[in-house]
Amino acid sequence: MDRFKDAPSEVLTQPRPSLAVTRPPKVDLWATVVGMLDEVAERINLDPGIHAILRQPERELTVAVPVTMDDGSLKVFTGYRVQHSSARGPCKGGIRYHPNVDLNEVRALAALMTWKCAVIGIPYGGAKGGVQCDPRQMSRNEVCRMTRRFTVMILPFLGPRKDIPAPDVNTDAQVMAWIADTVSMFQDKSMMEIVTGKPVPLGGSVGRKEATGRGVAIVTRELSKQKNKPLSETTVAIQGYGNVGSSAATILHEMGCRIAALSDVSGGLYSSRGLDIPDINRHVDAHPGHLLEGYEGAGVEHIDNQDLLTSQVDILVPAALENQIHAENASLIRAHTIVEAANGPTTPEADEILHDRGIVIVPDILANAGGVVVSYFEWVQDLQGFFWEESEVNHHLERIMVQGFQKVWEYSQHARVPMRLAAYMLAVNEVAQAVETRGIFP
């Protein structure tokens, strides 16, 4: 994975920012993703032709999105939709609204979706989209008009058997509902299966909210099994107590783990005897900002986020933000296992340090795949027009996460490579096999 590390480390060699510099150096994510593919291709001896196919997105669309703003002025936004690969099935990936969205970023994220769907074994390819905008400066009506116009502009790409968008940064169930409605109006029929991440009354799936956290808990349990460590003797620290972190904590607690440390933006809690998760959940539910702030319990110490990362536990679950485990704190981490619930919580430099220290990392591409798995269930239910009970959603999620984990764990052991590399090697191989089996048209 040397090339995977190369691109970000280039940033470090750039000169110190001068007073004129007001933007952090930008990492070329697409170059990083292609570099990672090249490295994996070499390791798995990938056919050069297939390698060349996977080095490019299948389709890219850049669109102008004119929107009449509330004050009557006209503003033209730039939007993108990129389909990296449809070899394994319809393309799947979110749509994000952010001022810094660009084509290279969208390409890279589309490719990452290809690998994510492949490693967890759901029948999708990868896609991503975005509009360059700051939705917080816009009224809801403006965001709605922009979403509808963007949807129409990328409509040739979309379809329940072609490309199924989902929420991403700064988009949500409401935005998905607008997309589904716009497509339904154009097709003159109900097309709720065109997107996932919808509200449940519009065809969303029950169990979606807890899905990522549940998936994190399942892979954590499976890893403990592999290490012959009973969950009742396992201590866990979780950074981030939002949707993912709180679901993971609750389910791990129910499984018998001792949750020794938790943190959110307001600070952290630590108890070597284990925190009372149901009591903490009651506190968080009652807190106006849904925070840990103000929680007091017998034997509970207040800690900060850095204390949490370096706390004496068996398993550390970063469930908050990216780049939290970096070169400067990686050597201080005392957990012997890290389960990446957040996207990209470990920098490449830290990854290397942790690997050298023998710390096992369950990579984000696998650990937090529960969300996309239940998105897949949402699509399946929409296509069937038949909706499952939450127990059925959880049952199938369990099965898919266990299979995904075992596949990566066994390959990692067999090939003697870290789980992150094993996951990417398996994913690229899965997609390559699909390309090869389907053959090249015509």
Partner 1 sequence: MADTLLTPKTDTAHRVVMDATLFTSLPRPPDAFSTPEAVLAQALKFCAQKMGLDDTQAAVDRLRQGESDACGYCLYSIAKQVAGRIGLLDEGARAAYLLDYDATPEDICFGKADVEKPIIHMIIWTERKTAALSSLLAALDRGLVQAYADVLRTSQPGEPAPGMALHADTAADAAAIGVVLDAQVVDDTEVESRTGYAGLLFSIHHRPIQIWRR
Instruction: Specify the residue, 174 or 429, whose C-beta has the smaller distance to partner 1.
Output: 174
- Only one residue has tokens 């690997």, namely 355
Least distance (Å) between residue 153 CB and partner 1? 21
Instruction: Specify the residue, 301 or 322, whose C-beta has the smaller distance to partner 1.
Output: 322
DSSP 8-state symbol, 344: S
Least distance (Å) between residue 125 CB and partner 1? 18
- Structure token digits, residue 163: 């490309």
d(CA 39, CA 17): 31
Active site (annotated) includes residue 189: no
Instruction: Specify the residue, 169 or 300, whose C-beta has the smaller distance to partner 1.
Output: 169
Instruction: Specify the residue, 143 or 236, whose C-beta has the smaller distance to partner 1.
Output: 143
Largest interatomic CA distance in the chain? 70
* Marked catalytic residue, from 92, 116, 128, 198: 128
Least distance (Å) between residue 22 CB and partner 1? 4
List, as one string, the DSSP characters of 301-369: EEE-HHHHHTSS-SEEEE-S-TT-B-TTTGGG---SEEE--SSS-B-HHHHHHHHHTT-EEE-HHHHTT
- Structure token digits, residue 423: 């996951």
d(CA 218, CA 405): 9
Instruction: Specify the residue, 19 or 76, whose C-beta has the smaller distance to partner 1.
Output: 19
Contact residues for partner 1 (CB under 8 A)? 8, 11-12, 16-17, 19, 21-24, 27, 29, 70, 94, 98-100, 105, 108-109, 134-141, 166-175, 197, 212, 242-244, 265, 287-291, 293, 320-324, 326-329, 342-344, 347, 371
Least distance (Å) between residue 320 CB and partner 1? 8
d(CA 229, CA 110): 37
d(CA 140, CA 143): 5
The answer for residues whose C-beta is within 8 angstroms of residue 432's C-beta and 6 or more apart is 44, 46, 47, 50, 54
Instruction: Specify the residue, 294 or 299, whose C-beta has the smaller distance to partner 1.
Output: 294
Nearest in space to 361 (alpha carbons), one of 331, 324, 335? 335
Helix or strand (DSSP H, E) at 91: strand 91-97
Taking a C-beta distance cutoff of 8 angstroms, is the pair 129, 96 a contact? yes
- Structure token digits, residue 135: 């939705």
Least distance (Å) between residue 322 CB and partner 1? 4
Least distance (Å) between residue 278 CB and partner 1? 22
CA quadruple 424, 126, 112, 309: dihedral positive or negative?
negative
List, by residue number, the catalytic residues. 128
